[in-house]
Amino acid sequence: MQKFARITPQYPGVRAPLAPEVCAAWLGRLGPLLARWFDAPGTVWEMQAWYSLVTTPPAGLAPIQRLPHVDGTDPRQIAMMLYLHRTGHGGTAFFRHRSTGLEALTQADYPRYAAALQADVARTGLPPAAYTTDGAPHFERIHAVPGHFNSAVFYRGNILHSGVIDNDTPLSADPHEGRLTINAFFRPAE
């Protein structure tokens, strides 16, 4: 029943927004837990969330989609992935950038990271048109969370990460058969 559409060029698929009343209900339950889990007592949170469906085949990935990424450089932003699929695709993997040793990016780190990554790519070329698995050659996979149905992972959005997508398993555009998740971002209210 959702109206999925391509919302941003960075996401390799389509999304549909979660209803505001659902976000409000989740915030009421999750806000106190996020404050405790992420050492942010008294924080009032804002939330954005989407149903997300990975649909771009590996050969169609843009260069930026072949690398681990961050959702921003603010360590106060918390990301959540709720896995709603039962496919051969997995959960979320976390990475360290080999040449800088960075696992998370702040605004101060970003220029150094961007310059180092640009030098890495100039030296070895872009990764092949595929979803990143082990991160080679520029990244090292340091942890992976399995994407079991109805489980979720919460993490700081400035940590280098990527979806665990099996490059040999088809990506269906049908939410009943594809890699469906709910992606949410929680930020301290300004």
Copy the structure tokens of residue 153: 């992972």
Percent of the chain with pLDDT over 90: 90
CATH number of the structural domain spanning residue 174: 2.60.120
| Mean pLDDT of the 76-101 span | 96
**Does residue 6 sit within a domain?**
no
What is this structure's pTM? 0.94
The predicted structure's pLDDT at residue 8? 82
Among 86, 88, 77, CA closest to 151: 86
**Does residue 124 sit within a domain?**
yes
**Does residue 168 sit within a domain?**
yes
Mean pLDDT, the chain, as a whole number?
95
SS3 at position 139: strand
**Does residue 1 sit within a domain?**
no
pLDDT digit string (tens) for 40-69?
999 999 999 999 999 999 999 999 999 999
**Does residue 86 sit within a domain?**
yes
pLDDT digit string (tens) for 123-178?
999 999 999 999 999 999 999 999 999 999 999 999 999 999 999 999 999 999 99
Copy the structure tokens of residue 8: 């941003």
Domain that holds residue 30: 13-188
SS3 at position 1: coil
Q: Scanning the structure block, which residue is given the tokens 């050659």?
A: 137
| CB-facing half-sphere around the CA of 32: CA atoms within 13 A | 3
**Does residue 8 sit within a domain?**
no
pLDDT above 80: residue 1: no
Q: How many CB atoms lie within 10 A of CB 105?
A: 23
Looking at this protein, which amino acid is placed at residue 162?
Answer: S
| Residues in CB range of 168: below 8 A, 6 or more apart | none
CA 2 to chain centre: 21
The predicted structure's pLDDT at residue 145? 96
| CB-facing half-sphere around the CA of 101: CA atoms within 13 A | 0
pLDDT above 90: residue 34: yes
**Does residue 150 sit within a domain?**
yes
**Does residue 4 sit within a domain?**
no
> Which 8-state DSSP code applies to residue 60?
G
- Report the number of distinct structural domains present in the chain: 1
